[in-house]
Amino acid sequence: VYIGTNQGLFYRKINSKEPFQFIEGTAGQVWDLFNYNDETLFCGHHMGTFLVENNKVTLIDNDLGAWTFKTVPNRKNLLLKGNYKGLSILENTNDTWIYRNKINGFNNSSRFFEIDSSLNVWVGHEYKGVFKLQLNDSLTRVINQSMEPSLSIGKNSSITKYKNDILYAFEKGVYKYNKERETFECDSILSPIISEDNYTSGKLIVDEKDRLWAFSRDNIYFISNDHLTNLPKIDTISIPSNYRKMILGYENISLLNDDTYLLGTANGYLTIDISKIKKDKIFKVYLNMITLKDKNDSIFYYNPKEKEEFEYNKGLLLFDYSVPNYDKYEDIKYQYILDGHINKWSDWANESKVQFENLGFGNYIFKVKAKIGNTETSNIETYYFTIKRPWYLSNLALLLYFLLLAMIGFVVHRAYKRHYHKKLKRKQLESDQLIMQIKNEQLNNDIESKNRELTISKMSIIKKNELLNAIKKELNDEDEKPSKNVKSVVKLIDKNLNNTKDWEFFVKAFNNTDKGFLDRLKVLHPDLTPNDLRFCVYLRMNLSSKEMAPLLNISVKSVETKRYRLRKRMNLEHEESLVNYIMDI
The CATH number of residue 135's host domain is 2.130.10.10
Distance CA 128, CA 136 (A): 24
Q: Check whether residue 447 and residue 546 sit in a common domain.
A: yes
| Whole-number pLDDT of residue 391 | 85
In a domain, 40, yes or no: no
Q: Check whether residue 367 and residue 506 sit in a common domain.
A: no
In a domain, 163, yes or no: yes
Q: Check whether residue 434 and residue 545 sit in a common domain.
A: yes
Domain containing 301 equals 286-392
| Whole-number pLDDT of residue 71 | 95
Q: How many CB atoms lie within 10 A of CB 140?
A: 15
Distance CA 425, CA 419 (A): 10
| Whole-number pLDDT of residue 86 | 96
Q: Check whether residue 545 and residue 418 sit in a common domain.
A: yes
In a domain, 52, yes or no: no
Q: Check whether residue 385 and residue 430 sit in a common domain.
A: no
Distance CA 132, CA 146 (A): 5
103-128 residues labelled b (16+ CB within 10 A) or e (exposed): bebbebbbbbbbbbeebbbbbbbbee
Question: How many structural domains compose the chain?
Answer: 3
Q: Check whether residue 189 and residue 260 sit in a common domain.
A: yes
Q: Check whether residue 77 and residue 167 sit in a common domain.
A: yes
In a domain, 194, yes or no: yes
Distance CA 451, CA 457 (A): 9
Q: Check whether residue 384 and residue 450 sit in a common domain.
A: no
Tens of each residue's pLDDT in the chain, 585 residues: 899 999 999 999 988 889 999 999 999 999 999 999 888 999 999 999 999 999 999 999 999 999 999 999 999 999 999 999 999 999 999 999 999 999 999 999 999 999 998 899 999 998 999 999 999 999 999 999 999 988 888 889 999 999 999 999 999 999 999 999 999 999 998 998 887 778 899 999 999 999 999 999 888 999 998 777 778 888 888 888 888 888 888 999 999 888 899 998 877 888 888 887 756 567 899 999 999 998 888 899 999 988 999 988 888 999 999 998 656 667 789 999 999 898 899 999 989 999 999 899 999 999 999 988 778 888 999 999 999 988 888 888 889 999 999 999 998 888 888 888 888 888 888 888 888 888 888 877 777 667 666 666 666 666 777 777 777 777 777 656 666 777 777 777 777 666 666 666 667 767 766 778 888 999 999 999 988 888 898 888 888 888 888 778 788 899 999 999 999 999 888 888 999 998 888
Q: Check whether residue 237 and residue 290 sit in a common domain.
A: no
Q: How many CB atoms lie within 10 A of CB 4?
A: 21
| Whole-number pLDDT of residue 437 | 85
| Whole-number pLDDT of residue 509 | 66
| Whole-number pLDDT of residue 277 | 74
| Whole-number pLDDT of residue 32 | 96
Name the 3-class secondary structure at 478.
helix
In a domain, 15, yes or no: no
In a domain, 386, yes or no: yes
In a domain, 39, yes or no: no
Q: Which of 39, 111, 114 is nearest to 70 (CA)?
A: 114
The CATH number of residue 378's host domain is 2.60.40.10
Q: Which of 455, 434, 421, 34 is nearest to 252 (CA)?
A: 34
Q: Check whether residue 372 and residue 462 sit in a common domain.
A: no
Whole-structure pTM over 0.85, yes or no? no
Which of 347, 371, 392 corresponds to the end of one domain? 392
Which of 276, 301, 326 corresponds to the end of one domain? 276
In a domain, 400, yes or no: yes
Q: Check whether residue 201 and residue 183 sit in a common domain.
A: yes
Q: Check whether residue 537 and residue 478 sit in a common domain.
A: yes
Which of 337, 359, 392 corresponds to the end of one domain? 392
Distance CA 108, CA 87 (A): 8
